[in-house]
Structure 1
Amino acid sequence: MVNTTLSFVQNMGGGFIIVLLLFSLAYFVLWVYCLVDAIRSNFKDQNMKLIWVLILLFAHGLGPIAYLILGKGSKTT
């Protein structure tokens, strides 16, 4: 079973698939971090919490990156 799986991965361009899986895992971890941070944080305006959670849920491609760049400025310290 392991041999057939390994040969399947090699035939599909095993290196590419492994890199794709690693990037997918890293992106998922980043997304979860941003979502948990947005839920736990206090914002200057409480509506911003809801807005950031919705952005993170529905804008998968750019949501976490936008949150890391723009979201930190709207939090209370």
Structure 2
Amino acid sequence: MGIEVGGLLGLIWLVIVIWAIVKTAKSSAGPIAKLLWILILLFFPLVGLIIWLLLGPKG
């Protein structure tokens, strides 16, 4: 059994992940770093978002 998120909580989670992807795409990081962060956020949404918040591109 996996973690299932639905309804309003799922929508909020989706908005947060999309926000992180857009913020990463607009950052001053290099193209390879941007691509890696976006792939991490897409394939590992929970862990990827936590890691991105701690170590992701700033500014």
TM-score normalised by structure 1 residue count: 0.58
CA distance in 2, matches of 1:70, 1:22: 28
User: Which of 45, 49, 55 pairs up with 1:60?
Assistant: 45
Structure 1 residue runs of 5 or longer lacking an equivalent are 1-19
Higher helix share: 1
- Give the drift of 1:68: 1.3
- Match of 1:61, SS? helix
Partner of 1:42: 28
Fraction of identical pairs, as percent: 35
TM-score normalised by structure 2 residue count: 0.72
Aligned length: 54
* Residue 33 of structure 1 pairs with residue 25 of structure 2: no
CA distance in 2, matches of 1:64, 1:22: 19
- Give the drift of 1:61: 2.4
Structure 2 residue runs of 5 or longer lacking an equivalent are 1-5
Give the AA of the match of 1:70.
Answer: L
CA distance in 1, matches of 2:31, 2:22: 16
Runs of at least 4 residues off by over 3 Å: none
